[in-house]
Amino acid sequence: MVGPSRQRTPNPHLGAYYGIVASAFVSLAILLALAEQLGWSDGSIARLMMLLPLAFYLVIAGASRTLDIEDFFASGRRVPPVYNALVLAAITVGGTGFFAYTGAIFFLGFDALAIGLGWTCGLLLASVLFVPYLRRAGAYTLPAFLGQRFQSREARIAAGAMLIAPTALLLAAEMKIAAAVFAIFMPLPFWLAVLLIALFVAAAGILGGMRSLTWSGSAEFIAGAIGLAVPLIVVSVLLTHLPAPQFTYGEMFGSLQGAETAAGMSPVGPGEIVPVLPETTPLQAGKPFLQSFGTITRAGFFAIFLCIALGTAALPTLLSRSGVTCSVADQRRSTAWALALVALFAITAPSLAAFAKILMFRDMALVPTEGLPAWLSVLSQLQLAQARDVNGDGVIAAGELFVMRDGVALALPILAELPYVLTALMAAAGLAIALAATGSHLFTLGTGLAEDIYGVIDVRPIELPRLMVVWAAIAACALVAAVFLLVAEVDALRSALTAFAFAGATFFPILLLAIWWPRCTAWGALASLGTGFGILFLCLTVGGFFGIAETATGICAASLIAGVLALGAGVAASLYGPAATPSDAAYFEAMRRPDGETLFDQSQARATAAEQRANEE
């Protein structure tokens, strides 16, 4: 007997609420712009621009607090598609995309486009191949889905353990970015910024789980989009007289090439992405923006694209949001909207990098006649760029400018000599996106440990202890991530790339088999998970001694090879191991039905009805 469907009506006032959120953020920026003209200090403006939105996000998270299991893990399954898309886009791009991707385009130009293209195509793959079926299954976590699909505790525990690598790497990358921005503008020591960020995201996750993260994440995405768009549009109007940077920066390529030539940039030979861009030290921009396949080969470009696409499609944090909308159709629409938002960011990011490069090297070319530009001292103070007399001739040339990769987005308003409030706005936007992503990764990691590892071993039917285990796991993960950031040097872009590589190699093959191949069995799942994860792990650890997977292209190639082998292992173990059971086949058929209540909710309703019958008897 299947229980009646729950009424899942989204809140009809959400549009008004988020209109207020957007208006409040814009009003704050306008008020601080007025305050700047009245003589307020830069520090006060930056602090207010950061802290007031942070307090607002925390209030939203607190207002969404819940002790209800379905609200905590699946946001009540009543999130409208567009709002879920906002959070999905924030998770995909994250602070790494906002700061590190724009910086990568600044340094590599054409060659870095593989990353944005990978995110977009990855969301398309997820939308077509996985998301509707995960919504129909309705499991709260990705390992829980695999456990249900194969009726195997071992598969669930294995997936839960293997989920730690990609999610923890992304958590570290996003938390590092958020803390670095916070430390620059508050200003605070880095360790204190890390602890405050960890406290903030842990509080948001513990208060209301997925529900808090959905509603605070939507507000954070809106703030992030406004904060990115406004300074960029102002710069676009100043440089091209049109407020559409995505379509007008092509007009500036002549100026850009002139500035690059003046800075002594000439076409470079194939190298690798990450060694060219160490995050801890500022770097010279050595590659012309438009040069195709200068630092990576054509095959390397394609490997990075495919690795990020597969990793995005199978990213546990993204897929754990597959059960939050009202229906399968809504979930599909939601992923399409997320793809549109991520694509819009990926289209916008090159314009930001191109404008920053034009402004920077155009002014540097004038140094012999007009002296050092005013923005150089500001960027040096913020440790975003510095000029060094490399050749010792007593003169700073354009080619002697060293720029921090992750500081290019923050540098743009300073380079254009815009009011300081726009720099603070850009920082608040990046921080908001990084916080949304950090919170979601932390929640996925915490629930993975609590539900899929501890919960499978120690099942307790009482509601509060179950949530308390998740709270403890979230708090512990936040603490460990903070301590890790304090003792280890994390390169956000490399960490994110490795995380996508792990997700693609470990989870893409088994999800493909579990959803599209009825004969796949629990043995196949275990073989696939173990092969994909094991081979990539070996490549990244032992492979270093043999020169394998040391570079961005190497990591991505290793991930693709591990993924192919994992697919083969899954097929072989399913074919030659024990055959699929009739209940596996029944679950497979039920999962592919497009309508009705989720399979997880149906089983919960059946369990509740059986319990009631037992009590009555």
Nearer to another protein, 113 or 213 (CB): 113
Which of 5, 27, 292, 377 touches another protein (CB under 8 A)? Answer: 292
Q: Which of 268, 329, 476, 483 binds another protein (CB under 8 A)?
A: 329
Instruction: Pick between residue 417 and residue 589 the one whose CB is nearest to another protein.
Output: 589
Region of 3-11, 246-254, 405-413, 472-480 interacting with another protein (CB under 8 A):
246-254
Write the DSSP symbol of residue 542: G
Taking contact as CB under 8 A, which single stretch among the options 300-308, 457-465, 529-537, 549-557 is the one that binds another protein?
Answer: 300-308
Q: Which residues of 40-56 are buried (b: 16+ CB within 10 A; e: fewer)?
A: eeeeebbebbbebbbeb
- Interacting residue with another protein among 336, 472, 476, 572 (CB under 8 A): 336
Neighbours of 382 (CB within 10 A): 18
Q: Which is nearer to another protein, 332 or 466 (CB)?
A: 332
Dist. CA 434–CA 99, nearest whole Å: 9
Residue among 90 and 112 whose Cβ is closer to another protein: 112
Piece in contact with another protein (CB under 8 A), picked from 48-56, 191-199, 217-225, 327-335: 327-335
The helix/strand/coil state of 387 is strand
Q: How many Å is the Cα radius of gyration of the chain?
A: 25
**How many residues comprise the chain?**
617
Residue 343 binds another protein, judged by CB under 8 A: yes
Among 18, 110, 375, 420, the residue binding another protein under the rule CB under 8 A is: 110
Q: How far is the CB of 188 from another protein (least distance, A)?
A: 37
Q: Which stretch binds another protein (CB under 8 A): 70-78, 331-339, 443-451, 488-496?
A: 331-339
Closest CB to another protein among 325 and 531?
325
How many binding residues for another protein (CB under 8 A)? 43
The residue from 80, 95, 97, 116 that contacts another protein (CB under 8 A) is 116
* In the block, residue with structure tokens 């009003």: 27
> Please, are residues 94 and 496 in contact by the beta-carbon 8 Å criterion?
yes
Site for another protein contains 333 (CB under 8 A): yes
Query: Given the complex with another protein, which of 244 and 579 has the nearer CB atom?
Result: 244
Measure the CA–CA gap between 98 and 90, rounded to whole angstroms.
Answer: 10
CB 88 within 8 A of CB 218: no
10 Å CB burial of residue 210 (0-12, 13-18, 19+) is: buried
CA distances from 460 to 451, 455, 475 (A): 11, 8, 20
Stretch that binds another protein, among 40-48, 297-305, 476-484, 491-499 (CB under 8 A): 297-305
> From residue 350 to residue 369, what is the string marking binding to another protein with x (rule CB under 8 A)?
x-------------------
Q: Is 185 in the site for another protein (CB under 8 A)?
A: no
| From candidates 82, 290, 456, 548, binder to another protein by CB under 8 A | 290
Backbone angles phi, psi at 25, to 5 degrees: -65, -45
Q: How far apart are CA 170 and CA 494, in angstroms?
A: 10
Interface with another protein (CB under 8 A), residue from 246, 257, 284, 386 = 246
Cβ 93 to another protein shortest distance, Å = 13
CA distance 397 to 384: 18
- Least gap, CB of 422 to another protein (angstroms): 24
592 binds another protein (CB under 8 A): yes
Q: How far is the CB of 114 from another protein (least distance, A)?
A: 8
Minimum Å distance from CB 483 to another protein?
39
According to the binding rule CB under 8 A, does residue 250 interact with another protein?
Answer: yes
How far apart are alpha carbons 170 and 498 in whole angstroms?
9
Among 242, 340, 585, 607, binds another protein (CB under 8 A): 340
Q: How far is the CB of 302 from another protein (least distance, A)?
A: 5
CA-nearest of 560, 138, 135, 115 to 296 is: 115
Q: Is residue 508 involved in binding another protein (CB under 8 A)?
A: no
Strands (E), 457-607: none
237 binds another protein (CB under 8 A): no
> Cβ(41)–Cβ(419) under 8 Å?
no
Beta strands per DSSP E along 204-245: none
Give me the amino acid identity at 344: L
All residues at 6 or more sequence positions from 115 whose CB lies less than 8 Å from its CB, including other chains: 97, 101, 104, 304, 305, 308
Q: Which residue has the tokens 């609590």?
A: 450
Residue of 355, 130, 144, 187 lying closest to 256 (CA atoms) = 355
Please, what is the minimum distance in Å from the beta carbon of residue 232 to another protein?
Answer: 15
What's the CA gap between 140 and 241, in Å, rounded?
49
Q: Is 302 in the site for another protein (CB under 8 A)?
A: yes
Q: Does 484 bind another protein (CB under 8 A)?
A: no
Q: Which two tokens mark 486?
A: 């304090």
CB of residue 166 to another protein, shortest distance in Å: 22
DSSP per position, 323-334 = TSSSSHHHHHHH
Q: Does 494 bind another protein (CB under 8 A)?
A: no
Binding pattern for the stretch 41-80 against another protein, x by CB under 8 A and - elsewhere: ----------------------------------------
Which residue, 346 or 565, is less far from another protein as judged by CB? 346
Q: Are the beta carbons of 184 and 382 closer than 8 angstroms?
A: yes
How many Cα atoms occupy the beta-carbon half-sphere of 584 within 13 Å? Answer: 23
- Angstrom distance (rounded) from CA 55 to CA 436: 14
Cβ proximity to another protein, 25 vs 289, nearer residue: 289
Which strand ranges, in their side-by-side order, compose the sheet holding 385-387? 283-284, 401-403, 385-387
Residue 589 in contact with another protein, rule: CB under 8 A: yes
Site for another protein in 117-146 (CB under 8 A): 117, 120-121, 123-125, 127-129, 132
Enumerate binding residues for another protein (CB under 8 A). Answer: 110, 113-114, 116-117, 120-121, 123-125, 127-129, 132, 246-247, 250-251, 253, 290, 292-293, 298, 301-302, 305, 328-329, 332-333, 335-336, 339-340, 343, 346-347, 350, 516, 589, 592, 594-595
